[in-house]
Amino acid sequence: MTMHLQYIIDKKGHKSAVKLPMKDWEQIQKDLGELERLAFISGSHI
């Protein structure tokens, strides 16, 4: 999966946030939910 990230930079040049398309965010949420489900099934905790 290729994500199209944009970094928000503060006045000192440090990355302070990330901007990404909603489609990418929704995929991250879906993947995280699946990982949590699998961890629960296996008895692990994330």
Q: What is the pTM of this model?
A: 0.67
Give 5-40 pLDDT, tens digit per residue.
Answer: 999 999 999 999 999 999 999 999 999 999 998 988
The rounded distance, in Å, linking the Cα atoms of 10 and 16 is: 6
Take residue 18 and report the two structure tokens written for it: 């990330």
Q: Given pLDDT bands bounded at 50, 70 and 90, which one contains residue 41?
A: confident
Give the model's pLDDT for residue 6: 97
In our burial notation (b when 16+ CB lie closer than 10 A, e otherwise), range 4-14 reads eeeeeeeeeee
